[in-house]
Amino acid sequence: MQYRTLGRTGVQVSALALGAMNFGAIGRTTQEEATAMVDIALEAGINLIDTADMYGRGESEEMVGKAIAGRRDDIVLATKAGLPMGDERNHRGASRRWLVTELENSLRRLGVDHVDLYQIHRWDPATSDEETLSALTDLQRAGKIRHFGSSTFPAYRIVQGQWTAHERRLSRYVTEQPSYSILQRGIEAHVLPVTEEYGMGVLAWSPLASGWLSGAVRRGRSIATSRSRLRPEGFDLALPANQARLDAVERLAVLAEEAGLTLIQLALGFVTAHPAVTSALIGPRTRDHLDSQLAAADTVLPADVLDAIDAIVAPGTDLAAHEKHDTPPALLDPALRRR
CA dihedral 72, 112, 3, 34 (to 10 degrees): 80
Provide the number of structural domains found in the chain. Answer: 1
Q: How confident is the model at residue 235 (pLDDT cuts 50, 70, 90)?
A: confident
Q: Active-site residue among 3, 55, 156, 173? A: 55
70: left (phi over 0), alpha (psi -120 to 50) or beta: left
The residues facing 151 across adjacent strands are 177
CATH number at residue 197: 3.20.20.100
Candidates 217, 215, 199; CA nearest to 296 is 215
127-143 per-position pLDDT tens digit: 999 999 999 999 999 99
**Residue 190: its pLDDT value, please?**
95
CA 229 vs CA 128, 226, 251, 290, 298: distances in Å = 36, 5, 25, 19, 31
Res. 19: pLDDT tops 70: yes
User: How many angstroms separate the CA atoms of 206 and 183, rounded?
Assistant: 10
192-208 per-position pLDDT tens digit: 999 999 999 999 999 99
Res. 22: pLDDT tops 80: yes
Candidates 89, 92, 164; CA nearest to 131 is 164
Res. 31: pLDDT tops 70: yes
Candidates 124, 61, 58; CA nearest to 97 is 124
Which residue range forms the structural domain that includes residue 307? 3-337
Q: Is 55 a catalytic residue?
A: yes
DSSP 179: B
Tally of CB atoms within 10 A around 300: 9
